[in-house]
Copies of this chain bind each other. A is one copy, B any other.
Amino acid sequence: MLKKIELVIISAFLSLLLRAQVNTGFNLMPIPKEIHINDHKLVIDMNFKVSVIGNPNSRIYPEASRFLRRLSNATGIFLDKQGFVTPKDNNVSSALLIMVKRPGKLELGEDESYTLETKANQVVIDAITDIGAIRALETLLQLLSADAQGYYFPGVIIHDQPRFAWRGLLLDVALHFMPVDVVKRTLDGMAAVKMNVLHLHLCNDQGFRVESKVFPRLQQVASDGIYYTQEEIRDIVHYAGQRGIRVVPEFVVPAHTTAILTAYPEFASVKRDYKLQRYFGVFDPVMDPTNEKLYPFLEKLFLEMSSLFPDAYFHIGGDENTGKDWSSNPHIQAFMKAHGMKSTADLQTYFNQRLLPIIKKCGKTMVGWDEIFHPGLPKEVVIESWRGNESFYGSIKKGHPSILSYGYYIDLIQPASYHYQNDPIPDSVKLTAAETKLVLGGEATMWSEMVTPVTVDSRIWPRTAAIAERLWSPQTVRDTDDMYHRLDIESLRLEALGLRHISYKYPLMRQLVKGYDIKPLEVLVSVIEPLKIYERNEGDTMYTVFSPFTKLADVASPDQPVPRIFNKQVDSFLINPSPELEKTINEKLTLWKENDLPFQQLVKKSPVLQEAASLSQNLSKLADAGMQAMQYIQEHHNLGKDWLQEKMDIIKQARKQGGRCELQVVDAVQRLIEKAAETY
C-alpha cells in the first residue's frame, strides 16, 4: 500500500515540477518554446493601437485588425480609434508594434517563429514572417490578463517556434457536408492553437462536394445538391490563407468513389446501377485502372480541382480498397495476369504510378493514405499514416515524408489525454537526423459519419487543442494534468471565438426535453459519453446520411470534465479519505442517485428520451452503491460477500450502453466498492 502512495506522491511532485517549468500561470496553449517573465505590464485602454513595420505580406493587416476587434470584444474596451490596421499605421511607439522581416509564404516549412516581448510601454512582436507574427497575436490574446484595475498584458519575453511543420486537421465534408461558416469557424479555432493545415476530405461514396465546371455531373448527380461552389472554395482558401493556414484538398481514388461513379459509371470496375451511398463504411465500388479513358478523365478533373487549391500538396486518398470489384471483373483479372500482378495492392500500385505524372502535371506533390505505400513509390510522395505506428515509421524508414494521423482520430471519442500522449517521435523510437526530418507532423481527423454542422465543434474542440500542442510545443511538454488545466481555459477562449462545442448542447437538450428545464437531462449528460471507437454505428448499419443526429449520443460529448474530476477525487480519497473529499464525492453521488426520479418524468413527456431511461436508472443504482461503499469505508463495516456480489452486478449493469452512450463514472464507483469490500 505504501508503495502506491509513494508513487502517487512522486508523480504528483513531478507533475508540479513539470508544470512549473512549462506553464508560468498564463495558461498558454500551445505552450511556447521559451517563456521568461519580466517586470513590465502593458495596461490596455482606449488608446491602444497597433502598428506594423517591415516587409510583411498584406495578410497581416486584416489579421491585426481582427486582433483589435477580438481584444475589444474580450475587454469591452472601445478601441474605435483604430478601425483597421493599415500600412499607414507604422508608428514605432504604438502600444503593440509588429515587426516583420519578409512576406510569409503559404508553404510547408515556412518560418512561423516569433519573439514577443513586453516592454515599458509597449508589446513588441518580432517575426521573420507575417505568419510568425500571426501566431504571436494568438499568444498575445491568450496572455490577456485582468485585475480590479483593468485589463493588461503581463510582462513576458517569449521565443517561440513550432516543433513540427505540418500541424493539420482533416475535416471530412463528404460524409456529412459542412457549410462554409462551419469551415470558417473551424479555421478560426485552428489559428487560435497555431495549426497550419486544413485537410479537406472533399468526396467519398456519399457525395462529391466541389462544383466542377469541366464535369458538372459530379455536383449535379453526385452531391444531392450539397457542395461548395468554386467561389466558396476560393473564399475558404483565402480565409485560411489569412490565418497562415494551408488548405490541402483530398480527392480519394480509386476506392471510396461511389459518388464519382454515380456521375460517371463508365469508369467503374463493375457495371452497376450506381447511386450515392447512404450508409457509412467500406464499400466495393472502385475505379477500373485498366480503363485507359480513366486517366484523361482524372487528369482533367484534377487539373481543374488543383487550380482551386494553390497549395503544393494534393491528397489522392488511396485507402480502403476491398479489391472485390477488381477480383470479380475478368478483364481486370486478365490485365493483372498479363502484367504479373498478384494482388489488389499490385494493381493499386500500378494505378498510383499512372496517377503520379498527372499530379505532377498539376504542379503538385502527391499525398496518400498509407495503403499507397509500396516498394518503388517515388520518395517525394507523402504518406499519411492512419493504420498504426508501424506503417508510419515504415514509410519514414523508406524515405517518405510522412504525416501521423494514427492516434489523432478525434472522431473516435477518446480523451484528449490519449491523443496528447501520442508523440510522433516518442522516446521509444530512434530515428536518424534524416529520418527525423521526414516526420512532417500530424493531423487530427474529423471524419463526419456521426457528426453534423451542429455537433461537429464538440467533436473537434477542445480536444484538438491538445493535439495542436503536441505538434507545436517541445516534446518535454507532456504533463497531462497541466494540459487539462489549460485545456479547460482554452475551451472558453475557443468558445469566445465563435466555436459552439459548449453551447450547442443546450438547444439540443431543450429540444429533447421539449421545454426550458433541462436540469435532469443535463445531470445525466454530464456523466456520459458516446460509444467510442466504431461502436456507436453497430456494423456500420445503424446510421445513414438521413439519420437524426439530435439525440442523447449527440448531446453527449467526448472527454467530459465531470467524470474526469470525479475519478481524480475518488483516487485521492482512496489514498487520503479527507472529510472535504468525502463531502464532495457524496454530494455528487447523491445528485446522481436522486436524478432518476425527475429524469423518468422527462421520459414520459418526451419519448425520444426513452433510450436513456436505463442509463439514468443505472446511474441512480450505481450512485446508491457508491454511497453505501463510502459509508462502509468510513465506518469499517463488516460486509458480507453477498454485498460485494450484489454491487458488482450493479456495476456490470451500469456498463451497458443506452442511447449509444456509456456512463463514465463506473470505474471510480467500482474502486470505491472494492475498497469497501477490502475493508471486510
Contacts and interface: CB of A to CB of B under 8 A. Distances in A.
B546 A150 contact: no
Nearest to A224: B84
Interface in A537-561: 544-551
**Which of A146, A503, A605 counts the most chain B CB atoms within 10 A?**
A503
A96 to B, nearest CB: 16
Contacts of A504: 503
A334 to B, nearest CB: 39
A511 interface: yes
Contacts of A78: 544, 546-548
Contacts of A74: 511, 550
A514 B545 contact: no
A33 interface: no
Contacts of A329: none
Contact of A69 (B229, B231, B546): B546
A657 interface: no
Interface string A123-134: 000000000000
Contacts of A606: 146
Nearest to A279: B80
Contacts of A69: 546, 548
Interface string A293-313: 000000000000000000000
Interface residues of A, number: 60
B507 A506 contact: no
A215 B79 CA distance: 32
B80 A546 contact: yes
A611 B488 CA distance: 27
B146 A76 contact: no
A148 to B, nearest CB: 5
A149 B607 contact: yes
Interface of A: 62, 69, 72-80, 82-84, 146-151, 179-181, 224-225, 229, 231, 278, 454, 488, 492, 495-496, 498, 500, 502-504, 506-507, 510-512, 514-516, 544-551, 604-608, 611
Given A78-B544, A79-B548, A500-B507, 15 more contacts: A73-B548, A73-B549, A76-B611, A77-B548, A80-B544, A82-B546, A84-B224, A146-B606, A146-B607, A492-B510, A492-B514, A495-B510, A496-B510, A503-B503, A506-B506
29 contacts: A72-B546, A73-B549, A74-B550, A75-B548, A75-B608, A76-B512, A76-B550, A76-B551, A77-B548, A78-B547, A79-B546, A80-B546, A80-B547, A83-B278, A83-B544, A146-B605, A146-B606, A148-B607, A149-B607, A150-B607, A151-B607, A231-B231, A492-B511, A492-B514, A495-B510, A496-B507, A496-B511, A502-B506, A506-B506
